[in-house]
């Protein structure tokens, strides 16, 4: 049954979020062909029907030609966030991009700089996993860091701790891109903490929230997502020692791709000061 109060409140939260340089499809259509990523992407488009998708919400599933696709449909949106990290326009030297939770290590297909991927899979360059010890073993080592859908398998209240650990791994002036999924956070976060985010959260049926639902009338999901976004926004914009270059949220819970862990509907690029 529709809960109009939750829906209205969610929309009010979403409208009042502070975004920083969010993705703009029209602008990126003009800018992307000027980037060094573009020729690598274009080289992979070899048969009729292969295409570049510019939607903000067509994201990870379309980035890599996966076996279930007949054609290569490569999402350009991801490169908008990668670009300021890997292809710097200032004189900062990026010697290597460290990709945490690299999966198939697909950034190697597109990157103009060397990529070093960490994951448990054989595609990775290292099977060292992200852990509380990792920053102590890699303090101020990285000139660029990306994590696409790999650092959100934890409690939402650990978010600032994760940022702190990423910052510890960065050299001064280095940049990082984090792509995170609000639904993953909801699933991994203690109910008591979620309840502390807003008085109206008690109206949310958590058992119903856990399985991925793409019902457009899913007011609970919209509301919970807006609370996660608001929490992340407050934490990152108040975090000292970094400059936030991009803070972007995809606020449509009905987009099927965002039901999974692979797609980040929270996208953050920051620089260590």
Ligand X SMILES: C[S@@+](CC[C@H](N)C(=O)[O-])C[C@H]1O[C@@H](n2cnc3c(N)ncnc32)[C@H](O)[C@@H]1O
Those residues with Cβ within 8 angstroms of residue 210's Cβ, 6 or more apart along the chain or in another chain: 187
How near is the Cβ of 262 to ligand X at its closest, in Å?
4
Q: Shortest approach of ligand X to residue 149 CB, angstroms?
A: 4
CA distance 76 to 29: 8
**Residue 74, helix vs strand vs coil:** strand
Residue closer to ligand X by CB (options 28, 130) is 130
- Between 22 and 260, whose beta carbon lies closer to ligand X? 260
Quickly count: other Cβ atoms within 10 Å of residue 199's Cβ: 8
| Nearer residue to ligand X within complex by CB, 204 or 269 | 269
Question: For binding to ligand X (CB under 6 A), which residues are involved?
Answer: 60, 100-103, 118-120, 129-130, 148-150, 153, 261-262
Tokens of 79: 């490169």
The minimum distance between CB 20 and ligand X, in angstroms, equals 22
Q: How far is the CB of 148 from ligand X (least distance, A)?
A: 3
- The distance of closest approach from Cβ of residue 134 to ligand X in the complex, given in angstroms and rounded to an integer, is 8
Q: Which CB, 8 or 127, lies closer to ligand X?
A: 127
**Helices then strands (H, E): number in the chain?**
11, 8
Question: How many Cβ atoms from other residues are within 10 Å of residue 54's Cβ?
Answer: 16
Q: Which two tokens stand for residue 243?
A: 């400059």
Comparison of 119 and 220: residue with beta carbon closer to ligand X: 119
Q: How far apart are CA 105 and CA 203, in angstroms?
A: 41
Which one, 10 or 163, has the nearer CB to ligand X? 163
Q: How many Cα neighbours within 13 Å face the side chain of 211?
A: 4
State in angstroms the smallest separation of the CB of 239 from ligand X: 21
Q: Decide whether 204 or 262 has the Cβ nearer to ligand X.
A: 262
We find the least distance from the C-beta atom of residue 60 to ligand X, in angstroms, to be: 5
d(Cα 87, Cα 238) in Å, to the nearest integer?
26
- Measured CA to CA, the distance from residue 185 to residue 130 in angstroms comes to 17
Going by C-alpha positions, the residue among 197, 203, 231, 232 that lies closest to residue 219 is 203
């Amino acid at each position: 049954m529709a809960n109009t109060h939750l829906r209205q409140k969610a929309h009010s939260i979403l409208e009042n979020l502070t975004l920083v340089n969010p993705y703009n499809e029209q602008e990126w259509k003009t800018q992307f062909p000027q980037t060094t990523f573009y020729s690598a992407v274009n080289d992979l488009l070899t048969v009729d029907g292969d295409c570049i998708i510019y939607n903000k919400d067509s994201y990870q599933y379309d980035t890599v030609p996966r076996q279930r696709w007949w054609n290569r449909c490569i999402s350009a949106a991801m490169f908008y966030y990668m670009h300021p990290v890997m292809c710097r326009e200032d004189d900062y030297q990026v010697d290597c991009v460290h990709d945490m939770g690299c999966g198939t290590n697909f950034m190697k297909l597109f990157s103009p700089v060397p990529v070093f991927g960490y994951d448990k899979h054989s595609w990775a360059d290292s099977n060292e996993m992200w852990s509380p010890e990792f920053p102590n073993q890699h303090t101020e080592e990285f000139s660029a860091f990306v994590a696409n859908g790999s650092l959100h398998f934890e409690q939402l209240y650990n978010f600032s701790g994760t940022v702190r650990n990423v910052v510890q791994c960065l050299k001064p002036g280095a940049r990082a891109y984090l792509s995170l999924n609000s639904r993953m956070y909801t699933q991994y976060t203690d109910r008591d903490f979620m309840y502390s985010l807003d008085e109206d959260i008690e109206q949310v049926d958590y058992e119903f929230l856990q399985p991925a639902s793409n019902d457009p009338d899913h007011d609970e999901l919209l509301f919970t997502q807006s609370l996660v976004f608001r929490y992340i926004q407050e934490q990152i914009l108040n975090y000292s020692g970094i400059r936030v270059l991009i803070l972007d949220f995809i606020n449509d819970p009905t987009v099927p791709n965002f039901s999974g862990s692979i797609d980040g509907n929270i996208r953050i690029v920051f620089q260590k000061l």
